[in-house]
Chain A
């Protein structure tokens, strides 16, 4: 289940199950979104991205869904493996003139139970 920890929400899933990590973004003008995975002691690693003209994009074992109406982004991981245990961040950016920074969400810690 999902719970709010001291700092990061935590999602615990059984190995082999599917995981769904959610993210609410803040800027309705944002037009590009990225999911990052951060393992302990490492920098964030790019997983998958999606532009605002799309609702869904699939990668290897991962799918990102975008709902612009409610400013919601989700990351689905199929057949979750122990190696998927990490903190997952969504990031948004707006391609308007002079704007280039990524704004990161709070992050969700995914724990995979063997």
Chain B
């Protein structure tokens, strides 16, 4: 298993500003993911962050809006840039521990960062 922490747990931000969310894992993991969960809805993958390479973004998400860093095997950041009220969501960090030797076998999630943009 993996224990994941996120900072901040919640924030209220003004339109046009940026917020950087931190994700810390208690063990070294190869694959980290960032998800968005809009109020009352399911999870949508934003990007995959692998150490040593640029993040891979899903359709509808771009690096300029959601820059990601992955400096080592236990840490990642997601920045929500130039925020608007539509960015109000829960942002979740996830890791894959490759328990079964195949990606997707076991994904663990952090507690999430609840972002409100005014």
Instruction: Please tell me if the beta carbons of A89 and B104 are within 8 angstroms of each other in the complex.
Output: no
A-B contact count (CB 8 A): 62
- Please tell me if A101 contacts chain B, counting CB pairs below 8 Å: yes
Instruction: Please tell me if the beta carbons of B104 and A106 are within 8 angstroms of each other in the complex.
Output: no
Which of A11-19, A37-45, A57-65, A72-80 lies at the interface? A37-45
Residues from 11 to 54 in B contacting A, C-beta threshold 8 Å: 31, 33, 39-45, 48
- For the residues of A in contact with B, the DSSP-based class is loop
Instruction: Please tell me if the beta carbons of B104 and A93 are within 8 angstroms of each other in the complex.
Output: yes
14 more CB-based (< 8 A) A-B contacts, given A95-B102, A105-B42: A6-B40, A7-B40, A32-B104, A43-B112, A44-B109, A46-B107, A89-B42, A95-B103, A95-B104, A100-B48, A101-B48, A104-B43, A107-B41, A107-B42
Residues of A within 8 A of B (CB): 6-8, 32, 34, 36, 41-46, 49, 89, 93, 95, 100-107
Q: Which 10 A-B pairs have the closest CB atoms?
A: A7-B40, A43-B109, A100-B103, A93-B104, A104-B43, A104-B42, A44-B109, A101-B45, A43-B111, A43-B112
